[in-house]
């Protein structure tokens, strides 16, 4: 007696059903319609969406290395417009492209492992960067169409700063914080030499410095150590040549210097009266012209600082002329007596009176 194999019967039934399904499917178009599911898993491949013209519009999948994921969109001409994915180092980034496929922007992690935003012109030249430096500080840069730097904003050891450049990539200005923890503005010529600086000086006050074409400091205007105003001129050797300003007492003063920076003339107010002093090449006082309560006087000194002659005014308003020896001892006196008569006095080398003559008949 022959037995029917149940497995064979089932296989036959399923095969018949499959044939009818395929026959029915052949009468439909190739659109599967709506698909609803909780998840789709693709290993090492991608999912591509096609527009009505048969051009890919979106690709979601794994890159050529089979490791990094990405999402790309395309325009109707098939040109890539955006790309979101992971780089070779595992960092994320987003790129945008124009209608011809040239990159226009980048947002993501840069080579330093920090965030960055970059823009590009239609010629694929970078024009702007905003991001984080390797030191962890924020930075911003602007470039011209030739990829040459025009502007930079960042942070240094003193604080935040901004730098501008000309078309020759040479620095033209600096705005930021200086070594005195104050603000500073610096300008440069076309040879990158400093020409002016405005800012806070070492005394905590304001100051302006001017430089020549070679970058040598030549004038300084600002607040001095006493909190008063001052002006200083400087030669190309860095030595002061003139100073004008207010001293600790609130009085004005002017000084001139030799080429090697040694004081030669000083004009200032002393105890509310004017005074002019001259100095020799060793900066020793050589002459003084000043005012007193009784009038003016001239004091001449030798190289050792001893007075050699005085021209001035007596207490009664008359004039005097006195001569001193090299030791500072008075040896002659010509002037007006207390009664207004002429008076001549001679002294010995020790300053002791020797001979005198009055103008009285």
In the chain, where are the structural domains located?
45-92
Q: Which residues contact 277 (CB under 8 A, 6 or more apart)?
A: 265, 266, 267, 285, 287, 288, 289
Return d(Cα 253, Cα 249) in angstroms, integer: 11
For CA atoms 286, 289, 291, 292, give the dihedral sign: positive
Q: Which residues contact 167 (CB under 8 A, 6 or more apart)?
A: 144, 148
CA distances for 92 relative to 47, 58, 87, 101, 192, angstroms: 20, 19, 6, 21, 39
Encoded tokens for 121: 């012109």
Tokens 């064979």 found at = 8
Given a cut of 50, is residue 9 above it in pLDDT?
A: no
Given a cut of 50, is residue 204 above it in pLDDT?
A: yes
Tokens 């100073």 found at = 243
Encoded tokens for 98: 């124009």
Cβ atoms of 307 and 328 within 8 Å: the answer is: yes
Return d(Cα 346, Cα 325) in angstroms, integer: 12
Given a cut of 50, is residue 1 above it in pLDDT?
A: no
Strands 296-301 and 330-336: unpaired
Return d(Cα 264, Cα 255) in angstroms, integer: 8
pLDDT at residue number 7: 53
Given a cut of 70, is residue 12 above it in pLDDT?
A: no
* Buried-state track 187-205, b at ≥16 Cβ within 10 A, e below 16: bbbeeeebbebbbbbebeb
Return d(Cα 228, Cα 59) in angstroms, integer: 72
Given a cut of 50, is residue 211 above it in pLDDT?
A: yes
Q: pLDDT: is 236 or 339 the higher one? A: 236
pLDDT digits (tens, 9 = 90+) for 149-181: 999 999 888 889 999 999 888 999 999 988 888
Closest Cα partner for 79 from 51, 115, 45, 38? 51
With 0-12 / 13-18 / 19 or more C-beta atoms within 10 angstroms meaning exposed / middle / buried, residue 208 is: middle
Given a cut of 50, is residue 309 above it in pLDDT?
A: yes
For CA atoms 60, 64, 69, 72, give the dihedral sign: negative
Pick from 64-73, 93-102, 203-212, 316-325: least confident:
64-73
pLDDT digits (tens, 9 = 90+) for 262-295: 999 999 888 788 899 999 999 999 999 998 777 8
Closest Cα partner for 131 from 116, 118, 143, 149? 116
Using DSSP's 3-state secondary structure scheme, residue 10 falls into: helix
* Buried-state track 62-74, b at ≥16 Cβ within 10 A, e below 16: beeeeeeeeebbb
Phi, psi of 200 (to 5 degrees): -90, 130
Using DSSP's 3-state secondary structure scheme, residue 8 falls into: helix
Closest Cα partner for 185 from 163, 169, 213? 163
Q: What percentage of the chain has pLDDT greater than the value 90?
A: 50
Q: pLDDT band at 17, cuts 50/70/90?
A: low
Given a cut of 90, is residue 261 above it in pLDDT?
A: yes
Helices (H), the chain: 6-25
How many Cβ atoms sit within 10 Å of the Cβ of residue 97?
21
């Amino acid at each position: 007696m022959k037995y029917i194999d149940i497995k064979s019967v089932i296989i036959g039934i399923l095969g018949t059903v499959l044939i009818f399904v395929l026959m029915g499917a052949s009468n439909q178009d190739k659109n599967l319609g709506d698909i609803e599911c909780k998840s789709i898993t693709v290993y090492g491949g991608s999912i591509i969406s096609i527009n009505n013209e048969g051009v890919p519009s979106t690709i979601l999948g794994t890159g050529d290395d089979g490791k990094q994921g990405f999402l790309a969109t395309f325009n109707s001409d098939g040109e890539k417009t955006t790309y979101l994915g992971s780089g070779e180092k595992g960092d994320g980034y987003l790129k945008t492209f124009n209608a011809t496929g040239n990159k226009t922007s980048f947002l993501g992690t840069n080579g330093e492992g920090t965030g960055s935003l970059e823009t590009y012109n239609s010629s694929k030249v970078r024009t702007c960067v905003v991001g984080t430096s390797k030191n962890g500080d924020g930075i911003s840069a602007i470039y011209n169409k030739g990829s040459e730097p025009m502007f930079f904003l960042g942070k240094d050891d003193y604080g935040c700063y901004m730098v501008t450049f000309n078309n020759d990539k040479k620095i033209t200005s600096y705005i930021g914080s200086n070594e005195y923890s104050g603000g500073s503005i610096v300008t440069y010529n076309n040879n990158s030499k400093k020409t002016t600086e405005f800012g806070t000086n070492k005394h905590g006050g304001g100051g302006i410095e001017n430089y020549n074409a070679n970058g040598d400091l030549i004038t300084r205007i600002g607040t001095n150590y006493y909190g008063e105003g001052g002006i200083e001129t400087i030669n190309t050797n860095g030595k002061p040549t003139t100073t004008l300003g207010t001293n600790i007492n609130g009085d004005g003063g002017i000084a001139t210097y030799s080429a090697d920076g040694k004081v030669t003339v000083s004009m200032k107010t002393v105890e509310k009266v004017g005074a002019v002093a001259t100095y020799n090449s060793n900066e020793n006082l050589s002459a003084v012209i000043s005012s007193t309560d009784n009038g003016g006087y001239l004091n001449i000194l030798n190289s050792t600082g001893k007075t050699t002659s005085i021209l001035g005014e007596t207490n009664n308003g008359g004039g005097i002329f006195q001569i001193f020896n090299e030791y500072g001892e008075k040896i002659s006196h010509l002037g007006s007596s207390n009664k207004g008569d002429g008076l001549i006095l001679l002294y010995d080398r020790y300053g002791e009176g020797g001979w005198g003559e009055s103008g009285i008949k």
